A and B are shown apart, each in its own frame.
Chain A
Amino acid sequence: MVTTAPNNLVYERPEGFTDTPTHYCPGCTHGVAHRLVAEVLEEMGVLDKTIGVAPVGCAVFAYNYFETDFVEAPHGRAPAMATGIKRVMPERVVFTYQGDGDLASIGMGEIVHAAARGENITVIFINNANYGMTGGQMAPTTLPGMKTTSSPNGRDVETQGYPIRVSEMLSTLDGAGYVVRRSLHDPKNIRLAKKAIRIAFETQIRGLGFSLVELLSTCPVNWNMKPVDALKFVEEKMVPYFPLGDYKLSAGAAQIKI
């Protein structure tokens, strides 16, 4: 076993993680997103009062990995479940972790209304442009022309419609306090993503309304790409279609300094 001298230790399992190894495919950025959330909850000292809501999707087992209470919602319904939890325990920290099929397709009703109500919950939204768990079908976020198992010739917008830009859409709602898009394709962007996740949870704790961080994410397995190529795909193809930025920064959220 390799041991590391404490002063050389630059990286270790955050306290927000359990000891369970994640089940994600090699090179998948779900794991990165998990880690950021775990670090933020640990740094904020709120692990003890946090309840997570897992989706149906590749992150269905998210409840195995976080050192917090967790529930597992029906496909797309996580924001409604989180609403039920938060409303009866407003002093707790409640977050959902959802994929793009879960949030932007089957669960579009639930997410829009949670945002419109200004529900004091935080949503971590993983946009990987496909349905990872079921083997790579077209998602509402699949890029025009992108091949998936259910758009084998590439997404034809004439018949299969256009991708949905969730952050932009939700930002029009008055109940939304903090809605931003970040990407996980390189270390710099990962750091920015972490900061956004922190602000999102701070938004919730200060009662400033609904907060959501959309994270552009990879699915190398279903994209048929090597992990590095998948990161490049995010940078070169996804970021142009889903521009990074702060789509809703309420006056309150803008005051948050970290």
Chain B
Amino acid sequence: MTRELWKGNEAIAEAAVRAGLEAYFGYPITPQTEVLEYLSRRMPELGRTFLQAESELGAINMVYGAACAGVRVMSTSSSPGVSLMMEGLSYIAGTEIPAVLVNVMRGGPGLGNIAPSQADYSHAVHGGGHGDYFPIVLAPASVQEAIDLTVLSFDLAEKYRSICMIILDGSIGQMMEPIQMPEMKPIQRKDWEWATNGKMGKRERRILTSIYLDPYAEEVTNLRLLERWKHIQQDEVRYKEYFLDDAEFVVIGFGTAGRVALSAVRAARAQGIKVGLLRPVTVSPFPHKVIDELVQRVQGLLVVEMNTGQMLEDVRLSVKGRVPVEFYGRLGGVVPFPDEVLSEIQRVASSRLSLEVNPREEWFERMMAH
């Protein structure tokens, strides 16, 4: 198959189409708008549903409705828009129906800016909307991976009747890379046993709701969601590893931070530093087990993120104080350069690391000293 040059956002849109996307609802927001614009041409051409909603509130609830009907449906947005969608996401989670949402993250809080950021990690991974639920969250680091994960996201969402979110930053959304598109799949509308698509003389009526007035019934629902989450944690953890076999130090980063870190790790290897990279692809479920295994054979970890250390907390949960953890973060839409990460690797590899220090505070002091 030939490789073609595609822009991240448009590649995600086309990948979704090829995965059988039947309906798209969205609202313009940079740096995500190309998905909406692309699908505004592509979906009608295929006789599928495209609608620019009045707001992200509207968009996510249109997704909710179409998801109840049992079709493959998606929305895409960027940070402020995803904040507005959190109500709908919580309802979708509580109703236990599949839906895909892409967040092309930008700098925040507030209106922030339109530069690449990873500051919505916690917002995505730890729920964001109200109530107890566990979204699946995928974090691509290249245009090709964004395509592959888009296709996967529909399968995961349907398999677990769950929200599947893809978080990427604006740089992946905007960059052009040579990629391979998947084959076009024909639309196969499945007759899900839960879909509210009309009785049509075939069955009893169905109800889809997220309401459980009786606390005991809600507790049963919460437990069901948790049980499902345990299967997801068991079977769906995905990550990429680089140079880990003999690594004494390991950098951990997702998405663009992981990609930048890989260049730095290669450069460090060229200098003889035994360093590797772990790049979580599913940030939820988080690769706790892999980190747990790594901790038993490495001298220290360096977490690199484009936020103030949101994933760092999850890493520390797996490390449980057994090896020193260091942190390097850039904020507000600033993407770290490989050189910066390289000097962090050099620092970590050459200093006496301590288990006692708080990595975020140490990093904060270094940042403020600059």
Contacts and interface: CB of A to CB of B under 8 A. Distances in A.
Contacts of B248: none
A129 to B, nearest CB: 25
A83 B62 contact: yes
A30 interface: no
Nearest to A112: B54
Interface string B297-324: 0000000000000000000000000000
A112 B209 CA distance: 24
B61 A85 contact: no
Interface string B206-244: 111111000000000000000000000000000000000
B22 interface: yes
A109 B91 CA distance: 19
A107 B54 CA distance: 12
Contacts, number: 130
B180 interface: no
B269 to A, nearest CB: 50
Nearest to A78: B61
A72 B208 contact: yes
Interface in B98-116: none
Given A47-B199, A110-B57, A113-B54, A84 B69 contact: yes
B212 to A, nearest CB: 11
Interface string A91-130: 0100000000000000001101100000000000000000
B224 to A, nearest CB: 18
Contacts of A68: 198-199, 205
A102 to B, nearest CB: 13
Contact of B62 (A70, A71, A84): A84
B201 interface: yes
Given A81-B68, A89-B69, A71 B63 contact: no
A72 B71 CA distance: 18
Contacts of A174: none
A70 B57 contact: no
A67 B58 contact: no
Given A48-B198, A84-B64, A109 B57 contact: yes
A204 to B, nearest CB: 14
Given A69-B198, A72-B209, A74-B61, A88 B88 contact: no
Interface residues of B, number: 39
Given A69-B207, A89-B69, A77 B197 contact: no
Contact of A69 (B66, B87, B199, B201): B199
Interface residues of A, number: 36
Given A69-B198, A89-B198, A92-B198, A84 B208 contact: no
A54 B59 CA distance: 18
Nearest to A54: B209
Contacts of A63: 207, 209
A88 B206 CA distance: 18
A237 to B, nearest CB: 33
A64 B88 CA distance: 22
A82 B53 CA distance: 13
A63 B68 CA distance: 14
Most buried by B among A49, A60, A84, A109: A84
Contact of B61 (A80, A87, A112): A80
Given A69-B206, A113-B58, A85 B68 contact: yes
B29 to A, nearest CB: 16
A228 to B, nearest CB: 31
A51 B196 contact: yes
A54 B95 CA distance: 14
Given A88-B23, A113-B54, A70 B87 contact: no
B280 to A, nearest CB: 31
A250 interface: no
Interface string B166-198: 000000000000000000000000000000111
A69 B61 contact: no
A80 B208 CA distance: 16
A172 B62 CA distance: 24
Given A69-B196, A71-B196, A84 B91 contact: no
A4 to B, nearest CB: 27
Contact of B197 (A54, A69, A74, A83): A69
Nearest to B90: A74
A72 B73 CA distance: 18
Contact of B49 (A18, A72, A87): A87
B58 to A, nearest CB: 4
Interface string B60-81: 0111111111010100000000
B30 interface: no
Given A51-B197, A67-B205, A89-B198, A110 B58 contact: yes
Contacts of B64: 73-74, 77, 80-81, 84
B368 interface: no
Contacts of A222: none
B205 A85 contact: no
Contacts of B205: 18, 66-70
A76 to B, nearest CB: 8
Contact of B65 (A49, A54, A71): A71
14 contacts: A18-B205, A49-B198, A63-B209, A68-B198, A69-B197, A69-B207, A77-B58, A80-B64, A87-B49, A88-B49, A92-B197, A109-B58, A110-B58, A113-B54
Cβ-closest 10 pairs across A and B: A84-B65, A80-B61, A72-B209, A81-B65, A84-B62, A113-B54, A84-B66, A77-B61, A69-B196, A85-B65
Given A63-B209, A109-B54, 13 more contacts: A18-B205, A54-B209, A71-B65, A72-B208, A73-B64, A77-B88, A83-B65, A84-B62, A87-B62, A88-B22, A88-B49, A88-B71, A110-B54
